[in-house]
Amino acid sequence: MTGQTDTQGPVTTVYKVSGMSCGHCEGAVSGEISQIPGVSAVKAVASSGEVTVVSAAPLDEEAVRAAVDEAGFELTGKA
């Protein structure tokens, strides 16, 4: 133990998503990912293809992939 407590702050993860081209795309991806339990914020940026997700704990990447697929896009990995 290093003396740190088990409580940790929010986790921020940036994912790469292909296929987003507009604000509607950003909204679709954000809406699906925001339904994953523990997610507190999502910001999708079509121009960079990046989606920043803030969650209470690290997310299962397959859950994120499924949400992105549901929105009609492809998760290509973490940025």
Helix (H) or strand (E) holding 21: none
41: in domain: yes
> Which residue range forms the structural domain that includes residue 47?
18-78
Rounded-to-integer distance, Cα 52 and Cα 34, Å = 11
Number of domains forming the structure of the chain: 1
pLDDT of residue 8: 72
6 — pLDDT class (breaks 50, 70, 90): low
CATH of the domain at 23: 3.30.70.100
Residue 12 within any structural domain of the chain: no
- Of 39 and 2, more confident: 39
Q: How confident is the model over 39-72, as pLDDT tens digits?
A: 999 999 999 999 999 999 999 999 999 999 999 9
Structure confidence at residue 28 (pLDDT): 98
User: Is residue 9 situated within a structural domain?
Assistant: no
| pTM for the whole structure | 0.88
